Structure 1
Amino acid sequence: MRLMLVEDDDHVAAALTAVLSRHGFAVTHCRSGAEALQAMLPDDRAPFDVVLLDLGLPDTDGFEVCGRIRKVSTTPVIMVTARSDVRSRIHGLNLGADDYVVKPYDTGELLARIHAVARRTTPGTPDPADPVPGSDVLRLGAVTVELTTRQVNVGGAAVPLTRKEFDLLALLAGRPGVVFRREQIISEVWRTSWEGTGRTLEVHVASLRAKLRTPALIETVRGVGYRLVPPAAA
């Protein structure tokens, strides 16, 4: 997913870009409104999927940038700003912003909002839990995941999984190499919040590793979450 980050603070932008990159985003950083509008012009690259727009820009107000983006593009715009007053929120949404996030924010919530507006406003944008488009069978070395029948085979032998174990495996296997935050996994698989559910996730990961007989297939990313390691890189 291509994402434009419009943020004049290089330290903030660097930290956020690092997080977004770990989650599979290709980030283009723009430091001003003029730079952002220039980047929106059509070129040979795929269009942006989401714009994260700070309002306090050095050359022009972010509200104006949002209004001008909306005149030429339907790309989802999320305003990310310290302006928390209701009037600013209403003004931003009236200008065409798809969401409004107030700093400081939780990174997990920001990621969830990015995926939410992309699904809502861009037809065909995959959910992180969705399989690779057009694929009903995922092959991960000796492990085969049949999404339609919800069957898993290891070395040709069927492996019975619980409903949540399968949902967890399908989520990770749908985007090999992408790191999923613990909070995001709990939200997608258990449809609940992280609080009080962390131990359940750890138990399911341990159970999957044992049943699939490939412990290295699911990697723990310390302090963040989990990712499925493509077998060639395992």
Structure 2
Amino acid sequence: MHRILLIDDDEQLGPPLAAYFQRYELQLTQAVKPSDGLARLRGGDFDAVILDVMLPEMDGFEVCRTIRRESDVPIVMLTARGEVMDRVVGLELGADDYLPKPFEPRELVARIQTVLRRQNGRNHRHGQAALAQEALRFEGLTIDLARREVLRDGQAVELTGSEYELLVLLAREPGRVYSRDDILNHIRGHEADLYTRAVDIVVSRLRKKLEPLDCIKTLRNAGYSLALRRLPS
């Protein structure tokens, strides 16, 4: 059974949501304070996090930033209805999806199931890739597929799941141009209710983490490609 951590200060939300989640073989645990949520996440084996933006102690964006420094666990953020900037900022900080409040429990379950399937699919693909090829090597950049590790000039770079997926997609065929739709379908799945702005956000985050390498090329009205020379295996 997948374990889900809910970080939300509404104490009335957790119990009925936990009962509902059990119908779908999802075990939900609630933390009403960010400090408690982070402690539980560090001490437990959770498969995904549901994170509210409006929280005491620190807001959900700061919690998301803290989680991303330590883990690539999938994060679904709960945002105020109509607050587009909340969604954009959440994605910029490394969230995998978002859902406006108020929400239907079934839709939240569907979002969680989607990020879990996506994560399981990544792990499966990476396992297959590791059997065929252990690393992709370029000038200044190495992607270790077996370990899911990225090295920039020999130094480890911490990437979120979406950032890593994007980099591997571009690196498998350097020079090939991928449209925003191609990238969305690859890193988020066909059923995700997202928009092409999400791709620009992930690309921007990835570029910043790979600096000073200038390796992701933008082709106006076309998409993105990896502009590095592949080294022999």
Tell me the TM-score normalized by structure 1: 0.49
Greater Cα radius of gyration, structure 1 or 2: 1
Q: Which has the higher contact order (CA 8 A, sep 6+)?
A: 2
Tell me the TM-score normalized by structure 2: 0.49
